[in-house]
Structure 1
Amino acid sequence: MRKSLSIIFQVAAVFIGTIVGAGLASGQEITQFFTTFGYKSFFGLIICMLMYILCSFMIIDLSTKYKLNSYKDLIVLVSSGFLGKITDILTSFFMVSGAAIILAGSGALLHQYFGVSKWIGILIMSIIALMVLFRNTKGLVEINSFIVPSLLIVITTIFLLYMLFSGHAANINHVKTISHNKNYWFLSSLIYASFNILSFSGVLVPFSHDIKNKKYLIIGTALGALGLTVLSLMINFMLLTNIPYIYDYDIPLLYIVSRFGKIIQVVLLGIIWLEMFSTEVSDIYSVSKTLEQSFKISYNKAVICILILSIPISQIGFKKLINFLYPAFGVISFIFLIQCIIFYRKNH
């Protein structure tokens, strides 16, 4: 019983830790894909949760049935033609770019708060990531089992403080009156959920190979999806009630907690950095597993190559990378998910 609960918790933690990266933990991702749509953004986040649960079940089922080892195997199975090859290449590119986004975010975070060179944040992240990645799957599980509970505790505490001290701003009626500029909230939700699902498949497919009990994986991903949604709803509420000021910051969540004093700021700073780190490790782990299988190079060598490649890409800048890469990859992911659903229905 204890072992099964431990496995479920680990899967849930890795699910949350993989998706909550530089964009979500900083507030930048939630702002772009949800907050700008006003109160409808809350419905969008619920849609994402349902998609996470249903699509994760489908990927787990396909992975165990066809004995898949990496996200490349999943893409080849579901989309074997030209579109599948393009999706495979772009998924790998996105994950490498995702690792670059995290490095850029780490640099931006330390630069915004401490005023130090962005290179310091990039180098610190790179060195520690190597140490964890060389521990393979065990390292991935260990860091998320520590980081994710810490994240949930800190964000919940900040949210409760915000509700306590924000007066009329923390009011549902006030939220409904906040102006918003866009109306395609439903499409934005689908795209956001799609790229997160395809990104997480890079970890979920190998997990389906290592963890033989399908039930544990399904319960773990469902629990992770619920925890991630609650977290996102709290962050979205705080961001929404701080429009338009949040648009001026790379790390909008850090701006929101500035009213609670330096200690809370430093704690949030640490949590954001740790969550960035967990996604950095997940992205590099996913691509390394695929390179190991496709090109027969050692996992450790693949890790080093991807990290070296990510560093120059990170120089483009945190906000620019998110604004360009996430929507583009989201569209590709959405097309792939439709293919995945069609394949699943035909072969089930």
Structure 2
Amino acid sequence: MWKSGIKWMFLIVGTTIGAGYASGRELWQFFGAESGLAIILFGFLFALSCHVILTISKKRQSSDYLPVLREIVGEKLAYLYDWMIIIYLFTTTVIMLAGSGATLQAFHFPNWWGILVISIPLILVFVWDIDGVLSFNSFILPLLIVGLLSVLLTFALQQDLSFIPNLTKQSNWTAAFPFTALNILPLIAVLGAIGNEVKGKGEIWIASVGSGLILGLISYIYNNSLIQISEQVLLYEIPLFAILHHYPYVMFLFISILLWLAIFTTAVSGTLGLVTRIRTMLKLPLWVLAGAIVLIMLPLTKIGFATLIEYLYPLYGLLNLYVLSALILYPILNRYKTGEK
């Protein structure tokens, strides 16, 4: 139970901590000052959403996200959100590829080098099907979480930051809803693909509560750190580099590698959602489908990392609010229906 629960927890965290999140750009876009309560609320809503999605996936024994989506939003709206998920996964994976280019640019390498470095292994990992994705996440996510938390906590202690929110000044608490909603569609896509592998309720609780606590904690510390250097953040496409500016070059290099790996895990998760959905229509190996998708994505990476996040993420956050509402209400409505029977 624990082993499986932690495996799904790392899949969830790996899907969420990507170029936008790990770089700090996504957090800065939604939160900032007076957002402590918003982040605490986000942790709760995220854990609840994961629990509902995994419960439905297990019940449906799904191998792609469409059966899960149908139960959440209904048969008619499922067709609309199916296309939204395809477009979302496609565009956010493009953001991951662009994020890899931006990461290597920080070391004065050409942008296209970073894009090429992520594209080739992104295709190769699917030679091992879904097991390859899960094994990679289980290996790299603990390193990423420890590394990121170490940098943020060290910075917070050096700057003597307070971790206690001023509850009288929490005007941005509503940001929790679009921010949680933003991360819902990739979770449905990825967790819907592993429903036939989930065995019990215990692993669902471990995965959902664990991922909510980890992401809530990192988000809270990260946001507090960025507030202290808000003027410097404007000078960096990747805000994390504004924090790393205060560290030796070795630490900068180490965290940059972990940042790239976070970008890679999310690119893999997004591609996983796409290829498992497309495989229901085209019976081809996953790596062939992944290769075709990456080739189509490459020209779109020219748009730029920060530009994509600035316009696409808030838009998706708002569009997904209905799905978040359906997930929050699902346990209540489902219990009511069960009681009727």
Output the TM-score relative to the length of structure 1. 0.89
Q: Which residue of 2 aligns with 1:60?
A: 54
Matches within 5 A, 1:102-141: 102-111=96-105, 113-141=106-134
- Structure 1 residues 172 and 60, CA, compared in 2 at 3 Å: closer, same or farther? closer
Whole-angstrom CA distance in 2 between matches of 1:343 and 1:230 = 26
**Which one has the bigger helix percentage?**
1
Shift in Å at residue 343 of structure 1?
Answer: 5.5
> Which whole-Å deviations, capped at 9, do the CAs of 1:33-87 have from their partners, x for residues lacking one?
112xx1x312111111111121222222222223333222222333345533221
What one-letter code is carried by the residue in structure 2 that aligns with 1:245? Answer: Q
Quick check: 1:87–1:332 contact (8 Å CA) kept in 2? no
Quick check: 2:66–2:192 contact (8 Å CA) kept in 1? no
1:310 corresponds to 2:307: no
Give 3-state SS (helix, strand or coil) of 1:31's partner: helix
Could you tell which deviates more after superposition, 20-29 or 219-228? Answer: 219-228
- Structure 1 residues 66 and 332, CA, compared in 2 at 3 Å: closer, same or farther? same
Whole-angstrom CA distance in 2 between matches of 1:221 and 1:339 = 17
Q: Percent of aligned positions with the same letter in both sequences?
A: 26
Whole-angstrom CA distance in 1 between matches of 2:217 and 2:46 = 13
Whole-angstrom CA distance in 1 between matches of 2:182 and 2:210 = 19
- Give the number of aligned pairs: 333
Instruction: Please identify runs of 4+ aligned residues in structure 1 that moved more than 6 A.
Output: none
Whole-angstrom CA distance in 1 between matches of 2:195 and 2:126 = 19
Whole-angstrom CA distance in 2 between matches of 1:171 and 1:46 = 16
Q: Which residue of 2 aligns with 1:32?
A: 29
Query: Which of the numbers 326, 333, 339 marks the counterpart of 1:339?
Result: 326
- Structure 1 residues 270 and 290, CA, compared in 2 at 3 Å: closer, same or farther? same
Give 3-state SS (helix, strand or coil) of 1:191's partner: helix
Shift in Å at residue 281 of structure 1?
Answer: 0.4
Shift in Å at residue 344 of structure 1?
Answer: 5.2
Q: Which residue of 1 aligns with 2:141?
A: 148
Shift in Å at residue 260 of structure 1?
Answer: 1.3
- Structure 1 residues 70 and 341, CA, compared in 2 at 3 Å: closer, same or farther? farther
Structure 2: gaps spanning 5 or more residues: 336-341
Could you tell which deviates more after superposition, 79-88 or 315-324? Answer: 79-88
> Which whole-Å deviations, capped at 9, do the CAs of 1:85-117 have from their partners, x for residues lacking one?
221101111101111000101101111x21111
Quick check: 1:64–1:209 contact (8 Å CA) kept in 2? yes
Q: Which residue of 1 aligns with 2:338?
A: none
> Which whole-Å deviations, capped at 9, do the CAs of 1:134-175 have from their partners, x for residues lacking one?
2121111111112211112212221232134325xx2469x8
What one-letter code is carried by the residue in structure 1 that aligns with 2:213? Answer: L
Quick check: 1:18–1:278 contact (8 Å CA) kept in 2? yes
Q: Which residue of 2 aligns with 1:224?
A: 211
Output the TM-score relative to the length of structure 2. 0.91
Query: Which of the numbers 31, 42, 49 marks the counterpart of 1:48?
Result: 42
Shift in Å at residue 255 of structure 1?
Answer: 1.6
Whole-angstrom CA distance in 2 between matches of 1:100 and 1:53 = 27
Quick check: 1:69–1:209 contact (8 Å CA) kept in 2? yes
Whole-angstrom CA distance in 2 between matches of 1:219 and 1:147 = 19
- Structure 1 residues 5 and 316, CA, compared in 2 at 3 Å: closer, same or farther? same
Shift in Å at residue 301 of structure 1?
Answer: 2.5
Quick check: 1:63–1:74 contact (8 Å CA) kept in 2? yes
Matches within 5 A, 1:67-106: 67-80=61-74, 82-106=76-100
> Which whole-Å deviations, capped at 9, do the CAs of 1:205-259 have from their partners, x for residues lacking one?
2222112223212212211221121111221111011112202211111121111
Give 3-state SS (helix, strand or coil) of 1:250's partner: coil
Q: Which residue of 2 aligns with 1:210?
A: 197
